[in-house]
A and B are shown apart, each in its own frame.
Chain A
């Protein structure tokens, strides 16, 4: 089994498009990762630095409102409440807009493997806001911490992700303070260590839950990471007064004794290039892109490339794509809901212009609501371990019903006009169209049902 252009688009991209040519070779797939990020230019999404201005505005409005409440100034309370509400509403609208732009990037990209990888890593480094405008911060976080590093070193992506304010906030690290730090000693009993970030860095981001670590390593890493925090006004920074003094030992290696970003960078580099990390990442790539129970040979091949290149991601992707098992066609994975919707948009070549005019309410009706029914609330996975990979999580009665309903109901609202179903079958599925799908597309009573049937077919939903 080897490269085929159509299968490459399905398995490693967002499926076929009537307007974008399938990728020509494995080399072209890899080149697409390091090439200029065309889609970020065509459909820009705010970076986290810009998003931080929203956080600053929200904080300022909150402070002003509290001051007004303290002085009992009713006019000012009203004014600042309104200001806060406007900031919140604009952020909600922005998030809806970023979903549309994310979908459009996937609809029009010629670098589809890059987009899929960006999604894969965004899930690997799941982070979400828990309060206020932060709740809308995921897309900007991905734009800044994930996307620029997709074709780089794993260590650099790890560093960018876990030092981003959204991650520090999500995993409670902004409140983690060394028990012997200046701050904790000044305020006895008020502050303490929070191990959440340290635990997830080891368990989810690097070594994996089966990795060779103990609770002591988690605790020591948590102490080493103290001081790493952010301020809304300044972004990520290191606060010496939060930091636990002295050296820490993680996996037998000593870091310190002087706290700072230096030893934090060092331990993250070491974790990122650890053989257990190589194994963990190799396995995750194979499970996500190929099949739920991937062949050992494929995992080992990626793992070796990761180790030999010191965690160079391009080398790891190349190893995956060059292995014949990556192209095996049995036990196909089901596309998770957001990918399914993206692939449908691509097959239908949905036009950007009317789509981008949709407001938050329409985005909720067309995407947020249906995706929640499919089991994937946009950018709100249950925990830091991200979305499940196993097909059983998605192929549920409700999940499948929601996909069929979306496929029959939504395309006609966003594609005008809907394509001819007999042509659409070939555009969406390529050279080999299963007989029953061609039959159903022709036998349906209406055009929108015919399109919906093609999109509902296993040939479309699996890759």
Chain B
């Protein structure tokens, strides 16, 4: 939607009130200028600690089979002879075959030992070396702060969840597709009228109406129809990325699989699979080709199963990559092995790469931002190391 269009539709809906609104200088539609770069980046936070060892199973590692029995009830899909994809992600195999799906194994933030979701997610989104630093914004926002020309609609935090990684001084659009302002036309007109005296509130309402209209125009969100929230989010993200948005971030929950993991992890993987497929089908072909999706989690889980058919909070985890811009059909990373001596603290997958360095290299490829800015400002103190070649 262009600025002119949203202003016109807004005004025509307001015509009922009379000419006072049309003459109002208070209506300031967001100026939608071209974004500073063309590629798209989608960051998905997988909250709860995804079990990377079950999602991309190291079946070629001789020590693996002894660690898992109940979580491995069903056989998955062979990736490269060494790794096997979880059976619940079968719908993604065509993406893998097309080189549009990949993984980085044995990654983690610098977070160690306490294994709290709260701290782990805080660190993942702050992108800092440790907790309690004075940095209070998120790394994706700090990236935006480094690039001139970022507009209010360059980056979107989508959905209910609070996306700390996008919070900070750079402008970011926040929108949850469920806040669709589905009010009667007259109630909306009157809401505009009562806010007319307040430029700040009035502008926010005007933009909300145009965002909500864009969401409704996507369809599938009709009253009574139960589109699951993750699909609403994915469709909305795809629509925004087709337009002026260059960055979208949102969350998927349900990864804390302490028990009956064969079932509970399947329930979390379904939405992940559907989300990735909806992003592909919702974006235009030329947009998808320029899109990198990264899904990351606060930590991995214990190498061994626990007593209730699940796994507990661990350390090394898995990063999921998708999109036309990533170098797929590869399980990237430095595999540490899961033999007793190779485990971190005798219990978790040993992290061999910093998840922030992977994200940093992807941002470098997507936006062209300087390595030194990434190491100094976006992830202060990070050593990005050599290019892991995660993108084309």
Contacts and interface: CB of A to CB of B under 8 A. Distances in A.
Interface string A127-144: 000110000000000000
Given A131-B116, A408-B187, A171 B132 contact: yes
B129 interface: no
A107 interface: no
Nearest to A68: B307
A373 B179 contact: yes
B160 A373 contact: yes
Given A369-B160, A444-B190, A445-B187, A195 B132 contact: yes
Given A209-B134, A401-B179, A462-B198, A396 B187 contact: no
A291 to B, nearest CB: 14
B187 A382 contact: no
Interface size of B as a range: 35 or more
Interface string A371-385: 011010100101101
A240 interface: no
Contacts of B131: 172, 196
Interface residues of A, number: 55
A196 B131 CA distance: 8
B353 to A, nearest CB: 25
Contacts of A449: 183-184, 186-187, 190
A210 interface: no
B162 interface: yes
B186 A445 contact: yes
A401 B208 contact: yes
Given A196-B131, A397-B207, A443 B160 contact: no
Contacts of B307: 69, 72, 77
Contact of A398 (B122, B134, B179): B179
B179 to A, nearest CB: 5
A436 B197 contact: yes
B160 A203 contact: no
Contacts of B181: 401, 404-405
Nearest to B118: A130
A453 B186 CA distance: 11
A454 B191 CA distance: 9
B164 A382 contact: yes
Contacts of A194: 132
Nearest to B136: A383
A418 interface: no
Nearest to B125: A382
Contacts of B308: 77, 81
Nearest to A400: B204
A396 B204 contact: yes
A130 B116 contact: yes
Nearest to B198: A458
B114 to A, nearest CB: 8
B132 A461 contact: no
Nearest to A383: B136
Nearest to A377: B162
Nearest to B137: A382
Interface string A399-439: 11110110010000000000000000000000000101101
Nearest to A458: B198
Interface of B: 114, 116-119, 122, 131-132, 134, 136, 160, 162, 164, 167, 173-176, 178-179, 181, 183-184, 186-187, 190-191, 193-198, 200-201, 204-205, 207-208, 211-212, 306-308
24 contacts: A69-B307, A171-B132, A175-B114, A200-B132, A209-B134, A383-B122, A383-B136, A385-B136, A396-B174, A397-B174, A398-B211, A400-B204, A400-B205, A402-B179, A436-B196, A440-B190, A443-B186, A443-B190, A444-B190, A445-B184, A453-B194, A456-B195, A457-B194, A458-B194
